[in-house]
């Protein structure tokens, strides 16, 4: 049994992915953060799971979840490293359905209150820096 932890992500389609990747890279360059792929975390850091189990359950989940629109509502600065700057997504039936399906398939219910979001920056910054950063975002919200 390996000791890795796994996360389950919903990924944007090509056009949106390219736009978001550009934003993530520009913010990382300007503010000294890491570069990562744009994604919506359905489940993060799932413990006690082997690679084989992770693959099996992910295939099971893929049969249940259908593609859905990622509708962005608001840019938020948050205190956590992995959520320093996020875009809150509209909690549509499809987005919440994907989250709940992942919980069910993986038997993982340690999320008390899930914020459906996409991170744009990872890091520890002062509130003024996060405010300035959020003003630089040109992602279309509400679309």
How many other CB atoms are found less than 10 A from the CB of residue 123? 17
Model confidence at 2: pLDDT above 60:
no
How is residue 90 written in tokens?
């509209």
Classify each residue of 35-73 as buried b or exposed e, where b means 16 or more C-beta atoms within 10 Å of its C-beta: eeebbbbbbeebeebeeeebeebeeebeeebeeeebbbe
Rounded mean pLDDT of 110-128? 84
| Separation CA 79–CA 60 (nearest Å) | 34
Model confidence at 133: pLDDT above 70:
yes
C-alpha distance across the termini of the chain, in Å: 44
Residue 37, SS3? Answer: coil
Percent of the chain with pLDDT over 70: 91
Model confidence at 88: pLDDT above 80:
yes
DSSP H or E run through 7: strand 6-10
**Quick one: pLDDT at residue 37?**
96
pTM of the model: 0.85
Model confidence at 1: pLDDT above 80:
no
């Amino acid at each position: 049994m390996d000791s890795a932890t796994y996360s389950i992500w919903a990924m944007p389609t090509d056009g949106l992915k390219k736009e978001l990747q550009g934003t993530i890279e520009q913010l990382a360059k300007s503010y000294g953060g890491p570069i990562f792929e744009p994604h919506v975390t359905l489940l993060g850091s799932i413990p006690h799971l082997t690679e084989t189990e992770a693959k099996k359950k992910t295939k099971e989940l893929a049969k249940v979840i259908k593609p859905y629109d990622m509708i962005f509502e608001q840019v938020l600065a948050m205190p956590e490293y992995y959520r320093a700057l996020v875009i809150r997504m509209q909690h549509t039936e499809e987005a919440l359905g994907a989250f709940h399906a992942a919980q069910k398939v993986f038997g993982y219910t340690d999320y008390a209150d899930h914020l459906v979001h996409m991170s744009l920056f990872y890091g520890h910054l002062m509130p003024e820096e996060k405010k300035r950063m959020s003003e630089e975002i040109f992602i279309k919200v509400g679309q």
